[in-house]
């Protein structure tokens, strides 16, 4: 049981002064500061090579900060709390095949919770709930490699949901999805009661799903504000190599909550 909380919960994610250079000396992050409150859905935008994936890899300790800090629900990301951090931060990678490696969908979705000690009927219930959330419960006994790309993406989301994460981080979730699957994934993400950080080049998708957006450019946060405002700022957009689809008017879309 959680202790009785009398103050506001800590932010789901707090990044302070995060800088990182790859071992070959290439510096990708130059002091990133951001804070995401519990329950927010935030888009992380930025051109190719801006450092988005590098930032994501710091959120659950796959990479560790050269300088600065990352905390998840008040817990510092670092060796001491790694198992708990991995449970709290659910990352859905761009390529579902990086995430699915077991003979059946059931085993893939059960893998994380089982490693965290969940067993028996509780484990099966977690698996079926997570697959139900992404509309894939009927596929529980299928081998993941027999599924279509869009189906594998949904199962990858389920593997993360089964961990009941504090924050769901998605790297390019709409890429390679057909329009119906793209919309269905948006419906799924909106229905979840979880903090979401979504890396995307799909600006209409960001606008539809995320009330707030961050622009990461050359390894720093260059803008942070309401998604519709950022996308409507033509100078800001062009100075960070961001382009809306032809004819798309960000003011014509109202995000649904």
Ligand X SMILES: Nc1ncnc2c1ncn2[C@@H]1O[C@H](COP(=O)(O)OP(=O)(O)OP(=O)(O)O)[C@@H](O)[C@H]1O
Which of Mg ion, ligand X, none does residue 22 bind (CB under 5 to 8 Å by kind)?
ligand X
Which of Mg ion, ligand X, none does residue 101 bind (CB under 5 to 8 Å by kind)?
none
Min dist CB 77 to Mg ion, Å, is 19
Contact 216, 32 (CB under 8 A): yes
Which of ligand X, Mg ion, none does residue 26 bind (CB under 5 to 8 Å by kind)?
ligand X
Per-residue mark of binding to Mg ion, 202-221 (x: CB under 5 A): --------------------
CA-to-CA distance for 40 and 200, rounded, in angstroms? 16
Nearest one of 20, 170, 8 to 74, comparing CA atoms: 8
**Residues in CB range of 14: below 8 A, 6 or more apart:** 34, 35, 36, 69, 70, 71
When binding is defined by CB under 5 A, the residue of 16, 35, 53, 69 that contacts Mg ion is 53
Q: Which is nearer to Mg ion, 129 or 201 (CB)?
A: 201
Q: Which is nearer to Mg ion, 45 or 65 (CB)?
A: 45
Number of residues counted as binding ligand X (CB under 6 A) = 12
DSSP type of residue 134: T
Exposed e or buried b per residue across 183-194, where buried means at least 16 C-beta atoms within 10 angstroms of its C-beta: ebbbebbeeeeb
Phi, psi (degrees; rounded to nearest 5) at 198 = -120, 115
Residue number of the CB closest to Mg ion reads 53
When binding is defined by CB under 6 A, the residue of 15, 42, 45, 50 that contacts ligand X is 50
Residues 17-46 binding ligand X (CB under 6 A) are: 22, 24, 26, 28, 46
Q: Is 235 in the site for ligand X (CB under 6 A)?
A: no
In this structure, the strands spanning 67-72 and 75-76 are antiparallel
Q: Is 123 in the site for ligand X (CB under 6 A)?
A: no
CA-to-CA distance for 207 and 130, rounded, in angstroms? 26
Q: Is 69 in the site for Mg ion (CB under 5 A)?
A: no
**Residues in CB range of 240: below 8 A, 6 or more apart:** 45, 46, 47, 50, 215, 217, 222, 223
Positions in the binding site for ligand X (CB under 6 A):
22, 24, 26, 28, 46, 48-54
Positions in the binding site for Mg ion (CB under 5 A):
52-53
């Amino acid at each position: 049981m959680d202790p009785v909380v009398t103050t506001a919960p800590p932010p789901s994610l707090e990044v302070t002064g995060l800088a990182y250079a790859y071992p070959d000396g290439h510096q990708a992050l130059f002091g990133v500061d951001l804070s995401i409150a519990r329950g927010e859905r935030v888009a992380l935008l930025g051109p190719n090579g801006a450092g988005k994936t590098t930032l994501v890899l710091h959120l659950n300790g796959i990479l560790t900060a050269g300088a600065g800090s990352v905390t998840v629900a008040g817990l510092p990301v670092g060796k001491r709390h790694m198992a708990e951090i991995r449970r709290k931060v659910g990352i859905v990678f761009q390529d579902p095949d990086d995430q699915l490696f077991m003979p059946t969908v059931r085993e893939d979705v059960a893998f994380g919770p089982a490693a965290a000690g969940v067993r028996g009927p509780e484990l099966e219930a977690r698996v079926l709930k997570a697959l139900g959330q992404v509309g894939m419960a009927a596929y529980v006994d299928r081998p993941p490699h027999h599924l279509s790309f869009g189906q594998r993406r949904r199962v990858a989301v389920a593997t993360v949901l089964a961990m009941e994460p504090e924050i769901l981080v998605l790297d390019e979730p709409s890429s390679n999805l057909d329009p119906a699957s793209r919309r269905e994934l948006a419906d799924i993400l909106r229905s979840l009661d979880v903090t979401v950080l979504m890396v995307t080049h799909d600006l209409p998708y960001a606008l539809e799903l995320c009330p707030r957006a961050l622009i990461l450019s050359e390894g720093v946060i260059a803008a942070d504000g309401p998604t519709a405002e950022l996308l409507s700022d033509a100078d800001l957009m062009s100075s960070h190599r961001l382009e809306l689809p032809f004819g798309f008017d960000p003011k014509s879309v109202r995000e649904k909550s």
